[in-house]
Chains A and B, each alone.
Chain A
Amino acid sequence: MSDRSARGWLIGVVGLAALIRLWAALTLPLDFDEPVYVGVALDYAHLIRQGDWIGVIDYPGNRQHPALHKLIYAAGALVLGDAANPTTTLYAARLLAAFLGVAAVAVLAWFAGPLAAGFLAVHTLTVKYTAQAYLEAWPLLWSIVAVGAWERADQIERRQQRRWLLLGAVAWGLATAAKMNYVIIALPALLMWLIGRGYIRQIPLLSGVALLSFAAANPTFWREPWTRLAAMAGFWTAYTQGNEVQAAGYPWYQPLVWLVTAPAVEWHPEVFFLPGLDPWLTLLALIGLPAAWRDRRRRYLLVWLIGGCLLLLLWPTKWPQYVLTLVTPIVLLAAPVVRRGGQWLQEQNDYWGWSNLMFLRPPWYAWVALALLVGFVATVYATALIMVTAGSIGWSVIAPRAGELPPGPIYAIQPLRNGRVALGGETGLTIWQAPAVSTEPPRWNHLPLGRVYDLAVTAEGLWVASNRGLALVTANGDWTWYSLPVAGQRMARALAVAPDGSLWIGTATGGVLRDTQGRWQPLPQAGQGGMILAVAVGQNDDVWFGGIGVVSRYLVRSQEWQHFARADGFAGAGVADLLVDHTGVVWAATLGEGLARWDGARWEWLTTANRQLPAQTITALLEASPGEIWIGAARPLTTGGYLLRYDGQRWRNFLPRDSGFPGAEPLALAVDQRRVLWIGTRAHGVVTYQLSSAPLPANEHAWPAHR
């Protein structure tokens, strides 16, 4: 092969590897361990940003794996700066992993040729785990660098050998600093290589260098290395008998199944849409074993593959990513088999000329048509993929799950202090507590308070409006029911807190006031005595009540009432939510007639006809920051809904195709102190979205702290 041709193949193989891994990084779904590693990376990034290097060394999370790969992912989070959150860091980590995976292909191409590198480029299990935020890409790269360096050492004159041997040792250390199983699996083969090639005396030196580079690249072991190493070993011993491993229930021969199938294709047919070559590569490697055994210089590959297989069969944990430790010998064994087969076919064809006779030579316009079709589909897909990927940054979904978020609609959301958020749903109040360390799951606390319609916070605690009445939940989780001064009605439907701390309540028959002294005052005029669905406190010493086909305004000082019904320019539909924005304009969300704005003189209607509202059933309103109005709407005649943002001039409809919003029907909107928008939905649990602006002042959404 000429230099130019070799360079062309090299570029082609590396380009192919990059294309496949980029595609996989953007399209693969979130995998089991990714949130853990991304969480650790965010924590590391936080510690590094604070200059807390001791914190990095002593970081307690995920100590069972060395720190290096997670620190590399933390570098991605650091580059992202303020934009770093679980979603953006996940994609940054995936892109870093993909880059390392491509580098592994390039290094393999350098010392073993483009054919072996091409096999590594298309090995689907390798593609999957080097395009996700796992801990495989770095050790795979450095284990290949190590093998390449030692092969190189063996091919050059003796004076320069030591440099390459030392580089190989450093590379093994770096690989181990990210994940230890690569060196464990390869160890018998490495010893065989060193002994077989006459480097037996170098073993202590090379082992020392590898250990040094391992220790230098792994900050966890900079303090109490033996204790931590022992803890790591203890973890893995216990883990093999743990619930997770037992629940998976893989048989002892599962590693062989991973090797002789293409599991990544089975799991992700939408990503790997062509048949996987993985089982064929394994077969080719097996075919190549006898030749490797006969060749003393390549015998270590046989030991690597067979010995590694035996070790994986003996080890009780059978996760699929473990077989990546065997991919290097597989592709190195498979490549010569294919090369020999290709040479034989070439000789046959040179004699018979059969390919010239039989192979199609389509006309140029057929190629043009094919290129246009493929190009069109690829362009449309890539554009849509980029829109969705970019749009999904900052979004996540908390789906209903036993023991966590109960199923059913979320009617109310109230952010609390200490990173907690109260969620009112069909079966009661659920309090979500952010984890202290990213590797831990959030905590959930459920209080059976009936169907919770609304929530509000005063200095006394969290008020809960439910179909069972009005309850006050204190910081320690106890609750007290209050009797409303409304004859024959227990239900509390809506709540609002005035700046002075008085509580305004909507009931099935008008309103109720609970003043700062704890006195109750019925307000039967509210909503003209009907059901009150929403309450909002205005800026002009007034309180607004939204009822069925009427909005009532109560002027507190003069104790006068104003009612707005259809005859007064309002709608006949129910009012699902009321909002008084920072300018004092009152927004009324109606169930079927659109959005109404009261500017002090008249109602202005925003509908599907005159504004960019996609539906007229408006379910929730929120002013996340001055002038930034968020609107939830329900789809007519079907399930699902819309989420819109209005900044005073422009409307943005968050669609599943260009954002992470799943198209659920929003019922409640709130923003917490971290500027996370919480969206309670009818059937999709809770959706969160990290807003980009600065955090709210700490005194927002005051709630008594945990004592």
Chain B
Amino acid sequence: MIRKPSRSVLVLQYTILILGVLFAVYPLWFAFLASGRTGDRLYTLNLLAMFIPTEWTFENYRAMIFDRPLLTWLRNSLYVAGVTTLASLVITTSAAFAFSRFKFYGREFALILLLAIQTFPGVLSLVAVAQLLTAMGLYGKHEGLILAYTTGTLVFSTWNMKGYFDTIPIELEEAAMIDGCGPIQSFILIALPLARPALAVTALLGFLAGWGDFIFASVLVPAPDSMKLVVPGLFSLANSQSVPWGNFAAGGLLIILPTIIVFLMLQRFLVSGLTIGGVKG
């Protein structure tokens, strides 16, 4: 039997929820207000204008889209994030399938090694990664960054994918093999379509790794402006004397939208992809 909560408990619950929502949404709303305010001001002394737009200009959006290289940065980020996503999908699905389906010498050790690597903070590897990329001639290039991001997403995505493949009955692939499929065909034509939720999670993680990072992107591709990714690019708008807050706010809102759209596109698969893969091992 479900007991109905009392009115006071309900009020308390809703108050907490509303406060939580406000806490989560207000920064975005604050950035939205600043992005339409005239004169590069982050704050206003007008009490009403602190909460609703009393004046509005698209000048900051125009400046970011037309005067500043925001579109170039977005293109760079899209390229890096897109290729990272594809590379993550290709590598992690094939690795996870192998871990899930094949018994080979060193399998357990490799899985534990992957977990051990995951415990190492990524930032600490930054100098080593930069040195490696320099030696490979990839420092300052998007391809180097893609390599760094792809390796960064490998561990979690491989484990997650492996967990998901473990839930798919192997009999389906065996049946396909009886019908004439080889291992690669059974992987591509049988296992992959069944693992779509996990693929969506891997894709999203790969995309987010390339899209929202600041530290690796600013260190591994420091210049020129035309090569920067969107987050370090946005950061470079500020200098020691001034911060164009209006531009900053407009740019910030514009760069979170692609992430939201990718999330909306993959939304159907995300929850099941995360939970199923996460609880099996």
The 8 closest A-B pairs by CB, nearest first: A357-B193, A384-B66, A366-B264, A362-B265, A366-B265, A380-B65, A373-B257, A273-B75
Binary interface encoding of chain B residues 245-281 relative to chain A, with 1 for a CB under 8 A from any of its CBs, else 0: 0000000001001101100111110000000000000
In the docked arrangement, what's the CA distance between A388 and B61, Å? 16
Chain B residues contacting A385 (CB-CB under 8 Å) are: 66
B56 near A: Cβ within 8 Å? no
A–B complex contacts, Cβ < 8 Å, 19 sampled: A269-B72, A273-B75, A352-B189, A354-B188, A354-B193, A357-B193, A357-B196, A360-B265, A365-B264, A369-B257, A369-B261, A373-B257, A376-B61, A377-B254, A380-B66, A381-B66, A384-B62, A384-B65, A384-B66
Query: When the two chains form their complex, are residues B62 and A380 in contact, meaning their CB atoms are under 8 A apart?
Result: yes
B residues in contact (CB < 8 Å) with A = 58, 61-62, 65-67, 69, 71-72, 75, 79, 188-189, 192-193, 196, 226, 254, 257-258, 260-261, 264-268
Chain A, range 367-382, C-beta contacts under 8 Å to B? 369-370, 373, 376-377, 380-381
A247 near B: Cβ within 8 Å? no
Residue of B nearest to A362 (CB): B265
Chain A residues contacting B264 (CB-CB under 8 Å) are: 362-363, 365-366, 369
Chain B residues contacting A354 (CB-CB under 8 Å) are: 188-189, 193
B186 to chain A, nearest CB (A): 12
Contact partner of A273 among B65, B72, B258, B266, CB < 8 A? B72
B85 to chain A, nearest CB (A): 12
Binary interface encoding of chain A residues 105-124 relative to chain B, with 1 for a CB under 8 A from any of its CBs, else 0: 00000000000000000000
In the docked arrangement, what's the CA distance between A358 and B58, Å? 40
A383 to chain B, nearest CB (A): 7
Contact partner of A657 among B58, B66, B261, B268, CB < 8 A? B66
A604 near B: Cβ within 8 Å? no
Chain B residues contacting A601 (CB-CB under 8 Å) are: none
Query: When the two chains form their complex, are residues B62 and A383 in contact, meaning their CB atoms are under 8 A apart?
Result: yes
Binary interface encoding of chain A residues 635-665 relative to chain B, with 1 for a CB under 8 A from any of its CBs, else 0: 0000000000000000000000100000000
Query: When the two chains form their complex, are residues B261 and A373 in contact, meaning their CB atoms are under 8 A apart?
Result: yes
The number of inter-chain residue pairs (CB within 8 angstroms) is 61
Chain A residues contacting B58 (CB-CB under 8 Å) are: 380
Query: When the two chains form their complex, are residues A369 and B260 in contact, meaning their CB atoms are under 8 A apart?
Result: yes
B251 to chain A, nearest CB (A): 12
Binary interface encoding of chain A residues 370-410 relative to chain B, with 1 for a CB under 8 A from any of its CBs, else 0: 10010011001101110010000000000000000000000
A548 to chain B, nearest CB (A): 30
- Beyond the given A269-B226, A373-B261, A380-B66, could you list 18 further A-B residue pairs with CB under 8 A, ordered by the A residue number? A270-B71, A275-B79, A354-B189, A360-B265, A363-B264, A365-B264, A366-B265, A366-B267, A369-B261, A373-B257, A380-B58, A380-B61, A380-B65, A384-B62, A384-B65, A384-B66, A388-B66, A657-B62
In the docked arrangement, what's the CA distance between A221 and B58, Å? 56
A274 near B: Cβ within 8 Å? yes
Known A-B contacts A274-B75, A358-B192, A380-B62; A657 and B67 likewise in contact (beta carbons under 8 Å): yes
B181 to chain A, nearest CB (A): 10
In the docked arrangement, what's the CA distance between A322 and B140, Å? 33
Residue of B nearest to A637 (CB): B241
Contact partner of B193 among A274, A358, A365, A377, CB < 8 A? A358
Chain A residues contacting B258 (CB-CB under 8 Å) are: 373
In the docked arrangement, what's the CA distance between A270 and B267, Å? 33
- Residue of B62, B188, B261, B267 with highest tally of chain A CB at under 10 A: B261
In the docked arrangement, what's the CA distance between A269 and B193, Å? 37
Chain A residues contacting B257 (CB-CB under 8 Å) are: 369, 373
Known A-B contacts A380-B65, A380-B66; A273 and B71 likewise in contact (beta carbons under 8 Å): yes
A580 to chain B, nearest CB (A): 36
In the docked arrangement, what's the CA distance between A362 and B265, Å? 5
Contact partner of A358 among B71, B196, B266, CB < 8 A? B196
A352 to chain B, nearest CB (A): 6
In the docked arrangement, what's the CA distance between A178 and B266, Å? 53
In the docked arrangement, what's the CA distance between A381 and B266, Å? 29
Chain B residues contacting A274 (CB-CB under 8 Å) are: 75
Query: When the two chains form their complex, are residues B65 and A377 in contact, meaning their CB atoms are under 8 A apart?
Result: yes
B75 to chain A, nearest CB (A): 5
Contact partner of A363 among B65, B79, B226, B267, CB < 8 A? B267
Chain A residues contacting B69 (CB-CB under 8 Å) are: 270
Residue of A nearest to B75 (CB): A273
A662 to chain B, nearest CB (A): 13
In the docked arrangement, what's the CA distance between A661 and B196, Å? 55
